[in-house]
Structure 1
Amino acid sequence: MTIEEAQKKVDQWIKTFGVRYFSELTNMACLTEEVGELARIIARKYGDQSFKSGEKEDLSDEMADILWVLICLANQTGVDLTDALKKSFDKKTKRDAKRHLDNPKLK
């Protein structure tokens, strides 16, 4: 599935099952919540914390939730994520063309 297809599928799902998009502010709060859930799993899986009994460990589920809410925000604010990602690649390539290659910390 392309990013464009994902944006269309999320929009169709919202219109079919979701009644309407939550407000942008609510979706921003939801996005923050989902990032926190991903952070909790990473802290337990790769950090020093341990999982609590019954706590879910599925990184892919949390990443998908983040992507879902991000796509919702993009749709409701008129952002074409494919175009935005292309522009981000261009920006980073121009800005960081040698930066990381020349970083002795990454050797």
Structure 2
Amino acid sequence: MTIEEAQKAVDKWIKEYGVRYFSELTNMAVLTEEVGEMAKIIARRYGEQSWKKDDPRAADNGKKALGDEMADVLWVLLCLANQTGVDLTEELRKNIEKKTLRDKDRHVNNEKLKQE
């Protein structure tokens, strides 16, 4: 699925099942909430925090839940793009171009990133 197809699929779902988009402000708050849920899993899976005994995500160290939370983040981001008229395919293309022009030598010459 391309980004364009994903934006259209989310829009179709909203129109068929979701009644309407939440407001942009509500979706921004939901996006923040979903990023927080993703961060919680990453903190426990890759960081120093441990799982609570009764957390069902602990069984597979959050592997299944992490993908689901990433999809939730993407879903809300696609909603925000749709309702604000942003073509994410085009914006990502322009963003990659910007980063390439700005940073083409920066990371290659960064001593902190050199492999040991």
Q: Give yes or no for the alignment of 1:15 onto 2:22.
A: no
* Unmatched segments (≥5 aa) in structure 1: none
Aligned to 2:37, the other structure's residue is in SS state helix
Residues 43-67 of structure 1: CA deviation (Å, up to 9, x unaligned): 0000111111224321100000000
Aligned partners of 1:55 and 1:30: how far apart in 2? Answer: 22
RMSD between aligned alpha carbons? 0.7
> Cα distance, 1:81 vs. partner?
0.4
- Partner of residue 69, structure 1: 76
Q: Give yes or no for the alignment of 1:54 onto 2:59.
A: no
Q: Give yes or no for the alignment of 1:80 onto 2:87.
A: yes
TM-score after normalising by structure 1: 0.98
Letter in 1 for 2:35: V
Q: Give yes or no for the alignment of 1:43 onto 2:40.
A: no
- Partner of residue 4, structure 1: 4
Aligned partners of 1:60 and 1:22: how far apart in 2? Answer: 23
Q: Percent identity?
A: 71
* Unmatched segments (≥5 aa) in structure 2: none
Aligned to 2:49, the other structure's residue is in SS state coil
TM-score after normalising by structure 2: 0.90
